[in-house]
Amino acid sequence: MGANEALNTQASGQGFDVARVRSDFPILDVRVNGKHLAYFDNGASAQVPTQVINRLSRYHESEHSNIHRGVHYLSEMATAAYEQARSRLKKFINAAEDREVIFTRGTTNTINLVAQGFGRAFVGAGDEIIVSQMEHHSNIVPWQMLCEEKGATLRVIPMDDSGQLLLDEYQKMLNSRTRLVAVTHVSNVLGTVNPVREMIELAHAQGTPVLLDGAQGVPHMRVDVQDLDCDFYAFSGHKMCGPTGIGVLYGKAELLEKMQPYEGGGSMILSVSFEKTTYAAIPDKFEAGTPPIAAAIGLGEAAEYLESIGMDAITSYEDELLGYATDALSGIDGVRIFGNASDKASVLSFNIEGVHAHDVGTILNDEGVAVRAGHHCAQPLMKRLGVPATVRASLYLYNTTEEVDQLAGAIRRVQQIFG
């Protein structure tokens, strides 16, 4: 039995049947340049299973209307489906209450909402906000904008060469001026799973709330926001088998209630006059205008889909696949892997000696392999790594060891071409 077969057999033995999972994703049958598509750009956007596609169709075929407004049948159907999606998401991340789940347009929109809603209410001149060296631009720029506006300071937790945050430095940074800690749960470049529980405890000991950027966390592992005790958790639908244009802000009710609204408009008010407007309770206060109704319903279905497979089963399958891929790529001379934290999710960033990441990405595409090449919206991290760009293979539940072999073969092809 080859290593490949052994892994698949073992994985199936644990109840993970990757062939069955793949049959849920029609797009995986697309051929690229006449070759099998090995889709490793899941960190950017994951693919969508038939269950979600069908749910979106059913909504459009028999339930579509605007929500929270109508007294007619379709409006009631759409409202019920939208609110059911909120409940599904609440269950998925184990929030305490439905109203702690706010639908947004995605992680970026969520973090901007908190930067404005929390920042306008609680951050002032001389205050500090802590982020880390490995943040995506979405968890840097909104805080920078807020700091500029308020005269506050952005502080950055450094990391070591393996891609792990220096917790001693973090602890030293926390002080009575720290208003918020905003860190990524999982790095989109290094795959590092940060020790967020410990980081939250340290921040809370100072009375400081914590936002976790869960864009790369929620799709790959069981997230229990009550167990983590995070104050805010941000994520996107399109990285967890859901549609684009939808995401979630989880926030503790007591904090959300104290925050300023982010956008003003319809649906987020109790009453409006030219003299004074009063705001609706959460979650409506943060959902101004017509939300992406279909996308929210699709996201609820995606959460159900992932749960039907089992988040723990997904994590352990991905762990095995990551181990297999790490071995395969480390065995190729001239390949440098970035990020080897002890706790790592299924992201593999690398460079090939003497070849620019974009050229690697282009040739891999010729071989049917889809990866992302570039700075991955993490320029400060690239600077820390001392490279302008990396190639990133981000694995998901439907990837196989055969596809990893295809990736390794394609890398050898790049080396032949650049000889």
Handedness of CA 396, 401, 406, 409 (dihedral sign): positive
- For ligand C6P, which is the closer residue by CB, 16 or 398? 398
- For ligand C6P, which is the closer residue by CB, 215 or 255? 215
Contact between 184 and ligand C6P by CB under 6 A: the answer reads yes
Shortest gap between Cβ of 6 and ligand C6P (angstroms)? 31
Rounded to whole angstroms, the Cα distance separating 96 from 104 reads 19
Contact between 43 and ligand C6P by CB under 6 A: the answer reads yes
The active-site residue out of 147, 230, 241, 377 is: 377
Long-range CB pairs of 328-334, under 8 A, 24+ apart, other chains included: 328/404, 328/405, 328/407, 328/408, 329/407, 329/408, 329/411, 331/408, 332/408, 332/411, 332/412, 332/415, 334/415
Contact between 108 and ligand C6P by CB under 6 A: the answer reads yes
> Is 377 in the active site?
yes
Rounded to whole angstroms, the Cα distance separating 349 from 269 reads 46
CB 264 within 8 A of CB 65: no
* Amino acid found at 13: G
Rounded to whole angstroms, the Cα distance separating 36 from 409 reads 13
- Bond into 283 cis (ω within 30): yes
- For ligand C6P, which is the closer residue by CB, 171 or 379? 379
Shortest gap between Cβ of 187 and ligand C6P (angstroms)? 7
Contact between 106 and ligand C6P by CB under 6 A: the answer reads yes
Contact between 349 and ligand C6P by CB under 6 A: the answer reads no
Contact segment (CB under 6 A) with ligand C6P among 15-23, 167-175, 212-220, 296-304 equals: 212-220
Shortest gap between Cβ of 310 and ligand C6P (angstroms)? 23
Contact between 44 and ligand C6P by CB under 6 A: the answer reads yes
Identified binder of ligand C6P from the candidate list 213, 301, 320, 367, rule CB under 6 A: 213
Handedness of CA 204, 263, 127, 146 (dihedral sign): positive
Identified binder of ligand C6P from the candidate list 116, 138, 351, 390, rule CB under 6 A: 138
Shortest gap between Cβ of 185 and ligand C6P (angstroms)? 8
What track of x and - describes contact with ligand C6P for positions 361 through 390 (by CB under 6 A)? -----------x---xx-------------
Contact between 245 and ligand C6P by CB under 6 A: the answer reads no
Rounded to whole angstroms, the Cα distance separating 325 from 363 reads 19
Give Rg (Cα) of the chain: 22
Contact between 90 and ligand C6P by CB under 6 A: the answer reads no
Read off φ and ψ for residue 42, nearest 5 degrees. -70, -25
10 Å CB burial of residue 77 (0-12, 13-18, 19+) is: middle
Contact between 344 and ligand C6P by CB under 6 A: the answer reads no
Catalytic residues: 377
List residues binding ligand C6P (CB under 6 A). 43-44, 106-108, 136, 138-139, 184, 188, 213, 215-216, 236, 372, 376-377
